[in-house]
Amino acid sequence: MEPLRMGVLGCAGIARRRMLPAINAFPDTRLVAVASRDPLRARRTAADAGCEAVHGYAELLARDDIDAVYVPLPAALHEQWVRAALEAGKHVLGEKPLTTDPAATAELAALAATSGLALRENVMFVHHAQHAEVRRLVEDGAIGEIRFLRAEFAIPRLPDGDIRYDPRLGGGALWDTGVYPVRAALYFLGADLELLGASRTGGAPGRPVDVSGTALLRTPSGTGVHLAFGLDHAYRSAYEIWGSEGVLTVDRAFTPPAEMPPRVRLERKDEVRDLVLPADDQVRNTLAAFTEAARGGTALEPVVLDQAVLLDRIHTGASPRALPTDEE
């Protein structure tokens, strides 16, 4: 079977660091071209990746030698260019969040379905084998009945000019790091989560978006959920599932290096065990899943729509409170 011929809309850091090398290394994909509105940036990125440079996103979508596109643009541009790609007959792997509006996400899902095209959101951690193992341990009763889930993802402060601090481009902690703990809650507890409360804190001048936030939720059976996210923190990437008989903890949960054997800590009465699992490459696994979806033209996974609704509830339910400035 011929490799899936892929183009990339944009030269974002995640594309250059992770996705372009992965597309080149994966046998079922072939990187054809990368596009940018800046022709020099396109040429530099394409030279590093060993593919063609294209000036302009529409120009890349017009090519007939590309089957699918990866869209790593700022969040506020996702809806426009994912839609354009689908209308051009391309399968789409869109960076997370697919859009910042659940209605728009649903419209794109419908467009992909009626067009027979694959549409996927690039939340890579769900493709790492460690989480399937944690879910198996939970289902096998290793910690009894789930009572509480906590998930956190935050990164250190970025330079003030970083696009993740630009509200016009869909910046902010919720859309950037908040997706991960929200998706973890959906992964382990399902879609029927009630939002009890949320808080988002805005940045100082130079960072006019939410730089941190928390959300408190519960399941219909009463399982509590606490989520935290941020762009101004010591690095944290973890979740904990607390049961009636034990606790499971996963560190480096959302962005583990491909060569790192993950550790899952299982704590029970009079027992603490670190389960060392085989290393796994979630970037490669994501491409494998996307390639399979493209070949089958399968619909958007329902969890992406559930995630969009939950993110919107957190966003609208917690207006960001600005941090005090030195003058206040």
Q: Which run of H or of E encompasses 311?
A: helix 302-316
What pLDDT, in 10s, does the model give residues 282-307?
Answer: 999 999 999 999 999 888 999 999 99
pLDDT given for residue 160 in this prediction: 86
What pLDDT, in 10s, does the model give residues 65-94?
Answer: 999 999 999 999 999 999 999 999 999 999
pLDDT given for residue 48 in this prediction: 96
| Dist. CA 252–CA 280, nearest whole Å | 13
E runs forming strands in 37-123: 52-55, 68-71, 91-95, 119-122
Where does the pLDDT of residue 325 fall: very low under 50, low under 70, confident under 90, or very high at 90 and above? very low
Give DSSP secondary structure letters for 105-139: HHHHHHHHHHHT--EEEE-GGGGSHHHHHHHHHHH
| Chain mean pLDDT for the chain | 95
Q: Which residues pair with 120 in a beta bridge?
A: 93
**96 in active site:** yes
For helices 129-139 and 179-189, the axis angle rounded to 10 degrees is 40
3-class secondary structure for 249-298?
EEECCCCCCCCCCCEEEEEECCEEEEEECCCCCHHHHHHHHHHHHHHHCC
What pLDDT, in 10s, does the model give residues 161-192?
Answer: 899 999 999 999 999 999 999 999 999 999 99
pLDDT given for residue 283 in this prediction: 98
Cβ-count burial of 24 within 10 angstroms (0-12 exposed, 13-18 middle, 19+ buried)?
middle
Q: Is the peptide bond before 97 cis (omega within 30 degrees of 0)?
A: yes
Q: 148 to each of 4, 118, 121, 186, 187, how far by Cα in Å? A: 42, 35, 27, 13, 14
pLDDT given for residue 320 in this prediction: 63
pLDDT given for residue 209 in this prediction: 93
Helix (H) and strand (E) counts for the chain?
Answer: 11, 15
pLDDT given for residue 297 in this prediction: 87
What pLDDT, in 10s, does the model give residues 203-227?
Answer: 777 788 999 999 999 999 999 999 9
E runs forming strands in 144-280: 146-154, 194-202, 210-218, 224-230, 236-243, 246-251, 263-268, 271-276
pLDDT given for residue 126 in this prediction: 98
Domains identified in the chain and CATH numbers? 4-124 (3.40.50.720), 127-282+313-322 (3.30.360.10)
pLDDT given for residue 322 in this prediction: 57
Cα torsion 42, 45, 49, 55 to 10°: value is 0
From the candidates 16, 18, 96, 313, which is the catalytic residue? 96
pLDDT given for residue 207 in this prediction: 83
What pLDDT, in 10s, does the model give residues 237-261?
Answer: 999 999 999 999 999 999 999 999 9
Tell whether the model's pLDDT for residue 231 goes beyond 50.
Answer: yes
Q: Taking CA 312 as the corner, what is the angle to CA 201 and CA 175, rounded to the nearest 5 degrees?
A: 55
Closest CA to 245 of 221, 265, 269: 269
Where does the pLDDT of residue 324 fall: very low under 50, low under 70, confident under 90, or very high at 90 and above? low
What pLDDT, in 10s, does the model give residues 30-61?
Answer: 999 999 999 999 999 999 999 999 999 999 99
Q: 84 to each of 14, 61, 92, 131, how far by Cα in Å? A: 22, 8, 10, 34
| Dist. CA 118–CA 100, nearest whole Å | 20
